[in-house]
Amino acid sequence: MIPRPGADRSTDPYLPEHGNGGYRVLHYDLELDYRIESNRLAGIAAITAVAGQALSRFSLDLGRMRVQDVRVDGRAARFTHRPDKLQVRPERPIEDGATFTVVVRYAGKPVPVSGRWGDIGWDELTDGVLVASQPIGAPSWFPCNDRPGDKATFRVVITAASAYTVLVTGDPVARRRGAGTTTWVYERSEPTAPYLMSVQIGRYDLIDLARGGVVQRAAIPPRLRPAFSRDFGRHGEIMAAMQRLFGPYPFKEYVVVVADDDLDDPVEAQGMAIFGRNHVDGRRTYERLVVHELAHQWFGNSLTVADWRHIWLNEGFATYAEWLWSGVSGGPPAATHAAEWHAQLAGRPQGITVADPGVARMFDPLVYKRGALTLHALRLAMGNEAFFAMLRSWVAEHEHATVTTEQFRAHAQRFTTEPLDALFTAWLDRAALPPLPR
């Protein structure tokens, strides 16, 4: 059941406590000052939003920071803050349809948001910072409407010690050096979900990933350059292959960050992917993950799920991209990967429906692999030409928007006269693993 939205709740059936009702955000303007030694962040967040109803109060998601002041349209507002919600009561009610601006001054020691997936969000490294916010970590470092469907543009200004490189998920527009500090300015002009915004701070070398076409850069610990040059040496080819398969890359540039710490898994952000040093071994062991994270720029970042039920539209598509790259690059074709994974999954308990796996299993490997198998079954039913035309059209028609499983089912049906309802029902709506079409 979809929850009823309220000032402190969203309509996301999995995470209704994250996100807020009554408005949508148009733009975030964040001015941040970060002291690495003490892990202290001071921020001013100016949030422009439009009311979806008359508002006598509203809420923002914000973690364990100390709020100093809140103003709505320039007037001081009353507020209360507990470690997950900032509740604001403006001096004057906001009319339905009105555009308004909220300015929040805050400071403190940012810590990740704790949940069933561990600690997520702003995280101190051995020497620097990593921000990986999927799905609930954005409020660890700025006040926001923390739901994937509320996409907005961003401007982020962050000042930190000059010995460190600061990267933000946005296009770099300015850099100003001061007395021992440097201020970095980034703008994200494409609509972006809060969880896809990221900050990376470290002692990094900045290098080119590939030359020509899409700007592709990397920020890496200097000692990892030799191994990195092999592990990511085919990145230009991977980008070209993804564009042939899915259409033009949806952002102005792509940045890979390798943190100087171990990470369990790489993580994607808007126009960025973050890997751990353990993913760089000089043997291309993790190249499939390089492909997976790049594919998320189309599936997850440009096309963002309207709510978390539809997570297979991110993870199933990125997993299938791994299989497609394998075939393109001279490895086993997608059909071989599909057959092998189908055989593996056939011997395991299922107990999950891909289109609605439940909050406890939304990142279950079954969602990833069953999602990819769904796409391969669809490809076999439609034929190559229709299938890839459908994928490119799906990406183009929903660029920088939000998507649902129901939209994808309807979209795919446009590209074939073969009825697809039974296929989708078997693969997405039922727990039992269907046979793989031949």
pLDDT digits (tens, 9 = 90+) for 371-413: 999 999 999 999 999 999 999 999 999 999 999 999 999 999 9
Q: What is the mean pLDDT of residues 307-318?
A: 98
User: Is residue 28 predicted with pLDDT exceeding 60?
Assistant: yes
pLDDT score for 193: 98
pLDDT score for 8: 81
Question: What pLDDT digit, counting tens, does each position of 46-68 carry?
Answer: 999 999 999 999 999 999 999 99
Question: What pLDDT digit, counting tens, does each position of 130-170 carry?
Answer: 999 999 999 999 999 999 999 999 999 999 999 999 999 99
pLDDT score for 351: 86
Q: What percent of the chain has pLDDT over 90?
A: 93
pLDDT score for 266: 96
Question: What pLDDT digit, counting tens, does each position of 177-213 carry?
Answer: 999 999 999 999 999 999 999 999 999 999 999 988 9
Burial of 74 (0-12, 13-18, 19+ CB in 10 A): exposed
User: Is residue 298 predicted with pLDDT exceeding 80?
Assistant: yes
Q: How far apart are alpha carbons 73 and 46 in whole angstroms? A: 10
Q: What is the mean pLDDT of residues 307-323?
A: 98
Angle, vertex CA 208, rays to CA 264 and CA 280, nearest 5? 25
Q: Is 331 left (phi over 0), alpha (psi -120 to 50) or beta?
A: beta
Q: What is the mean pLDDT of residues 413-419?
A: 97
What's the mean per-residue pLDDT of the chain?
96
Closest listed residue to residue 240, CA positions, set 218, 214, 217: 214
The lowest-confidence range among 2-11, 289-298, 411-420, 429-438 is: 2-11
Hey, what domains does the chain have and what are their CATH numbers? 23-191 (2.60.40.1730), 205-297 (3.30.2010.30), 305-429 (1.10.390.10)
Catalogue the E-assigned strands of 238-389. Answer: 253-259, 267-269, 272-276, 304-305
pLDDT score for 11: 84
Q: What is the mean pLDDT of residues 18-28?
A: 96
User: Please, which pLDDT band fits residue 6 given cuts at 50, 70 and 90?
Assistant: low
Tokens of 263: 């990470």
- CB 274, CB 325: distance < 8 Å: no
The lowest-confidence range among 7-21, 177-191, 329-343, 408-422 is: 7-21
Rg (CA), the chain: 22
